[in-house]
């Protein structure tokens, strides 16, 4: 059956922005203050640019549905291909509760901001939102793409631009900034590895550009339009993410930020100062819509990669099932059950913020391992399949590929190691339990795909 070409450059760009850029990321980077700009320059050089360039080349060379699974499988074999797509899928499984807790916390500002810290409210809100979006995505890619486009414009671009304006206005009027805005503050003070504990999370705020590759077959003229969409969305993401976090750091004191609701706290402060508190519920609605669009994008993307693995017999036959809209219905239902179980973390952790962080950081570590495999695969594919046509190709031949992919590997490995240290900016409670959760979680999700692969037949 021929795939419908339903996605334009604009729609795919909005899917990318919806998948990566969201106001939920701003409080994480705000913890670094002005030095976040320094970290984002490094993150762009050692991670974001390599991911974007390599994704553009691989997606136009291998546009079939499957994305990371197809790339790593062709380069390194089926087992590592399945490991890569499983890590991509698993990190999202862990990530859904954290992003949806942000969504629920933002929505609470419409009627009762105190609920943003209520674990029972967060738990049930996450369940309802995730299952609702799962059923929406079963309607097909056209509906999912529409939700992503509306969500990113209403919930990310508009409020993101607005908070940049408010931050600039605040400084222009000579008001006090809670984060130093000096030349010295632009460079971080690093005395222990814990000072870089947030680095993995910073890279995670820029992760996901490869995800849209699974939709390459739905793009009109993918060989030409996919790279264009990649670069358009990259520009939007870097501007909003870098300076959005800085605007929050200006008005929210260090150490007092709720990671799940930091963006709304900043808006609340800004609007109260300018006698615009009446607009806070409208902002809350917009941000909620943006977060919903982001989750909608991710619910189906990595699952399509798992579907490709299932059709390649790396999963039991049950998971190959599609509905009449071509959506992987069995995988989506299984995903919903696992996410529902993970949501119980909000019932056992002491605060919403601590639950948010531990899930967010484990997500980052799993994702970085997947990227390491992707970067290595990109190098191998240059030698293994030199004659495969790639409409976009990283310049300067194999030397260019080695440079770009090596930067990505170095950045990912370094951020992974730093991510194992408890950050000085976040209270994590018992350090031993924190480390056990992270290391145990990484090992668990790396071992599981090999067991599945061994017994799937």
Specify whether the CB–CB gap between 365 and 200 falls below 8 A: yes
Asked if residue 1 belongs to a domain, the reply is no
- Per-residue model confidence (pLDDT) at position 242: 77
| 226 vs 379, residue with greater confidence | 379
Q: Per-residue pLDDT for 309 more than 80?
A: no
The arithmetic mean of pLDDT across residues 26-49, rounded, is 78
Average pLDDT of the chain to the nearest whole number: 79
Q: Rounded to whole angstroms, how far apart are CA atoms 334 and 339? A: 9
The arithmetic mean of pLDDT across residues 383-409, rounded, is 90
| 347 vs 195, residue with greater confidence | 347
- Per-residue model confidence (pLDDT) at position 381: 95
- Percent of the chain at pLDDT > 70 equals 80
pLDDT tens digits, one per residue of 245-266: 788 778 776 656 665 566 787 7
Alpha-helix residue ranges (DSSP H) falling in 252-388: 262-273, 280-311, 329-342, 345-348, 352-384
- Percent of the chain at pLDDT > 90 equals 10
Q: Per-residue pLDDT for 357 more than 80?
A: no
Q: Per-residue pLDDT for 104 more than 90?
A: no
The arithmetic mean of pLDDT across residues 362-387, rounded, is 92
Asked if residue 413 belongs to a domain, the reply is yes
- Per-residue model confidence (pLDDT) at position 144: 58
- Per-residue model confidence (pLDDT) at position 66: 64
* 190 band by pLDDT with thresholds 50, 70 and 90: low
Specify whether the CB–CB gap between 53 and 396 falls below 8 A: no
Q: Per-residue pLDDT for 151 more than 80?
A: no
Q: Per-residue pLDDT for 310 more than 50?
A: yes
Q: How many domains does the chain have?
A: 1
Asked if residue 314 belongs to a domain, the reply is yes
Q: Which two tokens stand for residue 222?
A: 């993918």
Q: How far is CA 310 from CA 78, 305, 337, 429, 452, in A?
A: 11, 9, 18, 40, 11
Specify whether the CB–CB gap between 118 and 109 falls below 8 A: no
Asked if residue 62 belongs to a domain, the reply is yes
The arithmetic mean of pLDDT across residues 138-167, rounded, is 72
The arithmetic mean of pLDDT across residues 290-309, rounded, is 74
Q: Per-residue pLDDT for 4 more than 60?
A: no
Q: Per-residue pLDDT for 380 more than 90?
A: yes
Asked if residue 190 belongs to a domain, the reply is yes
The arithmetic mean of pLDDT across residues 199-212, rounded, is 72
- Per-residue model confidence (pLDDT) at position 346: 73
Q: Per-residue pLDDT for 59 more than 60?
A: yes
- Per-residue model confidence (pLDDT) at position 254: 63
- Per-residue model confidence (pLDDT) at position 149: 65
Q: Residue 219 — φ and ψ, nearest 5°?
A: -85, 140
Q: Which two tokens stand for residue 185?
A: 């503050």
Query: Whose structure tokens read 């795909």?
Result: 449
| pTM attached to this predicted model | 0.75
Q: Per-residue pLDDT for 2 more than 60?
A: no
* 404 band by pLDDT with thresholds 50, 70 and 90: very high
Q: Angle between the 280-311 and 119-137 helix axes, to the nearest 10 degrees? A: 50
- Per-residue model confidence (pLDDT) at position 42: 82
Q: Per-residue pLDDT for 279 more than 60?
A: yes
Q: Rounded to whole angstroms, how far apart are CA atoms 300 and 179? A: 39
Q: Per-residue pLDDT for 146 more than 50?
A: yes
- Per-residue model confidence (pLDDT) at position 255: 59
**CATH for 112:** 1.20.1740.10
Asked if residue 326 belongs to a domain, the reply is yes
| 34 vs 378, residue with greater confidence | 378
Q: Per-residue pLDDT for 447 more than 80?
A: yes
Q: Per-residue pLDDT for 384 more than 90?
A: yes
Asked if residue 4 belongs to a domain, the reply is no
The arithmetic mean of pLDDT across residues 224-230, rounded, is 74
- Per-residue model confidence (pLDDT) at position 1: 41
Q: Which residues contact 124 (CB under 8 A, 6 or more apart)?
A: none
Could you tell me the residue range of the domain that residue 408 belongs to? 9-455
Asked if residue 3 belongs to a domain, the reply is no
């Amino acid at each position: 059956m021929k795939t419908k070409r339903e996605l334009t450059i604009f729609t795919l760009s909005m899917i990318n922005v919806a998948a990566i850029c969201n106001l939920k990321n701003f409080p994480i980077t705000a913890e670094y203050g002005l030095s976040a700009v320094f970290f984002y320059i490094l993150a762009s050089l050692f991670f974001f640019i390599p991911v974007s360039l390599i994704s553009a080349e691989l997606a136009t060379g291998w546009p079939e549905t499957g994305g990371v699974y197809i790339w790593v499988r062709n380069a390194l074999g089926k087992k590592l291909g399945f490991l890569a797509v499983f890590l991509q899928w698993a990190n999202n499984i862990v990530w859904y509760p954290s992003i949806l807790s942000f969504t629920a916390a933002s929505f609470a500002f419409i009627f009762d901001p105190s609920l943003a810290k209520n674990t029972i409210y967060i738990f049930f809100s996450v369940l309802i939102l995730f299952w609702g979006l799962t059923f929406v995505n079963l309607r097909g890619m056209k509906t999912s793409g529409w939700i992503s486009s509306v969500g990113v414009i209403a919930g990310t671009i508009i409020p993101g631009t607005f908070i940049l304006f408010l931050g600039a206005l605040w400084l222009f009027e000579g008001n006090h900034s809670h984060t130093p805005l000096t030349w010295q503050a632009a460079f971080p003070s690093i005395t222990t590895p814990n000072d870089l504990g947030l680095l993995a999370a910073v890279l995670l705020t820029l992760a996901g550009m490869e995800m849209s590759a699974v939709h390459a077959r739905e793009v009109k003229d993918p060989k030409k339009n996919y790279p264009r969409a990649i670069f358009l969305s990259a520009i939007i993401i870097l501007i909003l993410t870098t300076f959005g976090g800085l605007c929050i750091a200006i008005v929210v004191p260090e150490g007092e930020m709720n990671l799940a609701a930091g963006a709304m706290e900043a808006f609340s402060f800004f609007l109260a100062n300018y006698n615009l508190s009446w607009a806070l519920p409208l902002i809350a609605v917009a941000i909620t819509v943006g977060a919903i669009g982001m989750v909608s994008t991710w619910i189906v993307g990595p699952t399509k990669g798992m579907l490709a693995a299932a059709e390649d017999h790396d999963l039991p036959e049950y998971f190959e099932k599609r509905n009449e809209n071509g959506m992987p219905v069995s995988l989506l239902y299984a995903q919903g059950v696992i996410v529902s179980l993970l949501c119980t973390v909000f019932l056992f952790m002491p605060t919403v913020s601590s639950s948010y962080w531990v899930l967010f950081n484990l997500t980052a570590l799993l994702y970085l391992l997947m990227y390491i495999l992707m970067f290595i695969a990109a190098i191998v594919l240059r030698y293994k399949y030199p004659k495969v046509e790639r409409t976009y190709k990283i310049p300067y031949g194999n030397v260019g590929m080695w440079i770009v992919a090596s930067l990505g590997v170095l950045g990912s490995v370094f951020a992974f190691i730093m991510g194992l240290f408890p950050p000085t900016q976040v209270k994590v409670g018992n350090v031993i339990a924190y480390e056990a959760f992270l290391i145990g979680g990484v090992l668990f999700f790396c071992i599981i795909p090999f067991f599945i692969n061994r017994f799937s037949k």
